[in-house]
Amino acid sequence: MSLTRTEQTAVAGPERPELQQALQEIVDSGFAGVQLRVHDERGAWVGSAGVRKLGASVKPSTDGRFRIGSSTKTFTATLVLQLVAEGKLGLDAPAADHLPQFELDRRITVRMLLQHTSGVFNFTGEYYEDGTFAPGIPWQGPEFVANQFHTYPPEELVRLALSKPARFAPGTDWSYSNTNYVLAKLLV
């Protein structure tokens, strides 16, 4: 068995049979394959179990990369709240004070971005109560697959969203909008 440089470095670290066993248990429960990377007080460790592709016998790589999608929203909110704690941002201050380039409605506060009460259009599209859909960037289906490696700069996503009508007046309702967290990220 030949190891990648990452695997060689990690293998030189502490043995972690309990982690390898946990990976195998995940696979045994029905998952095709899994990889894990740990950096803790005991050092670095990587491992994998199962298969990379159904019907194949090759194990999952241990140096793969994954998009974590909306998990980043937790990190963004934490950073925004740290800035609030440091007195660098105010939760009830207009977001426009920190993002003048977008000419946001001054009623939209930092808190509204985090709570999805800004009314700003969701750049992935909006479903309305009457069943209509206003498209945004593709996030599923053939069009997404064809462009899955296209990177949208945050400013482009915000400008797309702001080119559409607001869903409601700031602070008057709730609607999940990915754009809120792009704006929050830009605040950071």
Residues annotated catalytic, as ranges: 70
Closest CA to 32 of 48, 46, 16: 48
Distance of CA 156 to the CA centre of its chain: 17
φ/ψ of 90, rounded to 5, equals -115, 135
Where helices occur in the chain by DSSP H, the ranges are 5-11, 17-28, 72-85, 110-115, 141-146, 154-162, 178-187
DSSP 61: P
